[in-house]
Amino acid sequence: MALAFAHVPDDHRPWLWVQDKTAIRLSGRPYRPGLPRSLRHRLIHVAADKAQDALFALEEGLRCRDLAFVIGEIAGNPAALDFTASRRLSLVSTKHGVPLWLVRLAARHDLGSARMRWDVASAPSPPPQWNTQAPGDPRWQADLFRAHTFQPGQWMLGHDGQHEDLRVFTPDHGGVVSGTADRSLVPEQQTA
């Protein structure tokens, strides 16, 4: 997610990452050294106790035009994150021009107002080039299952070990289909 903005050379604004307590327990806190070099020092992290608090922090962040983008991580299907709350976040994101990625961990599909909805899961890594005992480059299976302006589909994303940006790979984990992940799939705003 953050990689989409890692290579925007003129944008040096900070960005916000909000997590509720259960999301932190499931996925951990952001690991700054693992972030793209251009984003590490600009991260503002908020650890919220409950989903309601996380939603409040997300909405306040979206109202701040001095942020480059906002990422929210909320676990499960809390009652606070209903269709109305999802729609409210989408409207605030659009009104203030701050992109939003809402990551739902261990959640079932329910109603939401997102322009694009994705299922993303880890995929098997290809064998490493030099050391057979080492892990291969990371891969993710990305399924776009709902979109207003794009046709649903599936992509295999990953790193090739030489570049920071994501690459789109063939389904057999072989060659690179495109040099970088299609920037047209980066919406003006996005929630899940």
Domains and CATH numbers, the chain: 1-113 (3.40.50.960), 115-192 (no CATH)
- Reported pTM: 0.74
Q: What strand order describes the sheet that includes 116-123? A: 116-123, 139-147, 153-158, 167-169, 176-178
> What are the start-end ranges of the E strands in 49-175?
70-75, 100-105, 116-123, 139-147, 153-158, 167-169
Q: Comparing 6-15, 25-34, 38-47, 56-65, which segment has the lowest mean pLDDT?
A: 6-15
| Cα–Cα distance, 191 to 94 (Å, whole number) | 11
> What are the start-end ranges of the E strands in 11-159?
15-20, 43-48, 70-75, 100-105, 116-123, 139-147, 153-158
Cβ-based neighbours of 164, under 8 Å, separated by 6 or more: 3, 6, 7, 36, 37
Q: What is the pLDDT of residues 93-144, one digit of tens each?
A: 999 999 999 998 888 777 776 777 788 888 888 888 788 888 888 888 888 8
Q: How confident is the model at residue 171 (pLDDT cuts 50, 70, 90)?
A: low
